[in-house]
Amino acid sequence: MWNGIRLVSDDSHFEGSPDQWCDHVDASFREWLPTVVELPGGGQGWQMPGKGKELPPIPLGLNVGAGRGWENLKTNGISYPDEYNVGMGDAAQRLAEMDRDGIDAEVVYPPVSGKRALDGFIPGEAYIAIAEGYNNWLSEVYTAADPDRILGLAILPHTTIDDAVAELRRVATLPGIRAIALQSWPNGGGHPRPEDDKFWAAAEELGMPLTFHFSFGATADERPAEFEGNWAPACTLLTRVDTNARTAFCCTQLIVNRVFDKFPSLRFSIAECGASWMPAYAMQADTNYTRHRHHAKIELNHEPSWYIKRHFIFGMQDDDLAIRIRPEIGVEAMSWGTDFPHVATDYPHTLQLLDRMFDGVPEDDARKILGGNLAAHLKLSPA
């Protein structure tokens, strides 16, 4: 707690070894799990399964940078556990780390290495089994240590829309699962398709909160030359802001595909994207919408800024400018997180960061940004 305000971080990660959750995956699919391997130069990395074995392992590196001090950061040469061992342990260790840093509750995104290790490299049946196993472990073991403080974010298999809807409905009943963390479009690919509406409709029906870390799906540069509908030129035309282009492109795809026109109760919290750039993005999207809507055949119920300010919560770490211009952003569209245990975290000195960043900020605004907005999005109890 900080100055009487309960801190709910919108961004943390489980960065422990997959050994902690692999026994929850159906035994017949464990050959497709990511593995931890020794690196030639020292330290360990995550080895991608399947076709990913053709690629070099991903070093632990800066994903476990918490508590080391800037002078001790390194991109490789780290193993499970090492002399710091911050962010690598079980739920009991994580709760102790939260206590040390003054954090009351936090959402838990999956390991960054694990996300990259699975994308596109394994059979669909294996991906389904791994998603189910990870989500079961998250519910039964990790969040169970204190479900009011460790807030689980379920993953989906990158396979088919029916698989995504099935896992959405399944995890909606699991204790400790507070939201879905999107990593691809619900259809399992890098780009939106009409069948995604089945997932959005189910999420709206279930009241399941949605989140993503920075962006999901492919980037603007990775879009196919030809694709159904006019989404590619429309999203490109409306996204003319250089800062946080991946986040802006992702948000714009949701808007241009009229997700919020069709499913108006949906809202997304976005981790680690920053917020100070949002007013420029919203202004430029409106200007380009007015200029290009007719020839590009962009049909929306409202200007882009209307959706940007109402359907997204922009998460930040040390975005001092966002605090200064929060009236332009809208306090209700802002949240904050530690990014623990990644290099962007200030652990174990987070409260000192907040003392500086929120100096002079009215308590009501600080309360919303530091947990209130996220708590409302995740439907947490007022306590």
User: DSSP string of 74-132?
Assistant: -SS---SS-SS-TT-S-HHHHHHHHHHHT--EEEEBPPHHHHHHHTTTS-HHHHHHHHH
Q: Is the pLDDT of residue 267 over 50?
A: yes
The CA distance from 137 to 165, in Å, is 20
Cis peptide before 341 (omega within 30 of 0): yes
Q: Is the pLDDT of residue 125 over 70?
A: yes
Please give the pLDDT value at position 236.
Answer: 53
User: What is the arithmetic mean of pLDDT over 212-226?
Assistant: 71
Residues 260-287 as b or e (16 or more Cβ within 10 Å = b): beebeebbbbbbbbbbbbbbbbbebbbe
pLDDT per position as a tens digit, 85-110: 999 999 999 999 999 999 999 999 99
Domains in the chain with CATH codes = 8-14+91-377 (3.20.20.140)
Q: Long-range contact list for 283-287, CB < 8 A, 24+ apart?
A: 284/238, 284/240, 284/241, 285/238, 285/239, 285/240, 285/241, 285/248, 285/252, 285/255
Please give the pLDDT value at position 112.
Answer: 78
User: What is the arithmetic mean of pLDDT over 70-78?
Assistant: 91
- For the chain, what is the radius of gyration of the CA atoms? 20
Look up residue 11 and give its two tokens. Answer: 């961004």
Please give the pLDDT value at position 155.
Answer: 95
Q: Is the pLDDT of residue 263 over 90?
A: yes
Measured at the alpha carbon of residue 135, what is the angle toward residues 164 and 7, in degrees to the nearest 5?
A: 110
pLDDT band at 241 (very low <50, low <70, confident <90, very high): very low
Q: Output 123 or 225, whichever has higher pLDDT.
A: 123
Return the amino acid letter for 283.
M
54-63, 171-180, 331-340: least confidently modelled range: 54-63
User: What is the arithmetic mean of pLDDT over 15-32?
Assistant: 95
Please give the pLDDT value at position 114.
Answer: 61
Nearest to 110 by CA among 271, 222, 237: 271
Q: List the 8-9 sheet strands across, edge first.
A: 8-9, 105-108, 150-154, 177-182, 210-213, 268-271, 312-316, 334-336
Residues 6+ apart with CB under 8 A from 340: 9, 11, 12, 13, 66, 87, 97, 101, 103, 106, 347
Number of Cβ within a 10 Å radius of residue 81:
14
pLDDT per position as a tens digit, 306-352: 999 999 999 999 999 999 999 999 999 999 999 999 999 999 999 99
pLDDT per position as a tens digit, 149-172: 999 999 999 999 999 999 999 999
User: What is the arithmetic mean of pLDDT over 207-225?
Assistant: 80
Please give the pLDDT value at position 122.
Answer: 84
Q: Which of 68-77, 96-105, 114-123 has the highest mean pLDDT?
A: 96-105
Nearest to 176 by CA among 153, 196, 147, 201: 147
Please give the pLDDT value at position 93.
Answer: 97
Q: Is the pLDDT of residue 367 over 80?
A: yes
Please give the pLDDT value at position 218.
Answer: 78
Q: Is the pLDDT of residue 290 over 80?
A: yes
Please give the pLDDT value at position 6.
Answer: 95
Nearest to 340 by CA among 68, 59, 21, 33: 68
The CA distance from 377 to 368, in Å, is 11
Residues 6+ apart with CB under 8 A from 90: 16, 20, 142, 145
Q: What percent of the chain has pLDDT over 90?
A: 79
Q: CB of 183 within 8 A of CB of 158?
A: yes
pLDDT band at 233 (very low <50, low <70, confident <90, very high): low
Please give the pLDDT value at position 58.
Answer: 87
Q: CB of 129 within 8 A of CB of 29?
A: yes
Q: Is the pLDDT of residue 225 over 80?
A: no
Q: What percent of the chain has pLDDT over 70?
A: 91
Question: What letter does residue 148 receive in the DSSP assignment?
Answer: T
Question: What letter does residue 213 receive in the DSSP assignment?
Answer: E
Q: CB of 105 within 8 A of CB of 151?
A: yes
43-57, 196-210, 367-381: least confidently modelled range: 43-57
Q: Is the pLDDT of residue 231 over 50?
A: no
Instruction: Report the mean per-residue pLDDT for the chain.
Output: 91
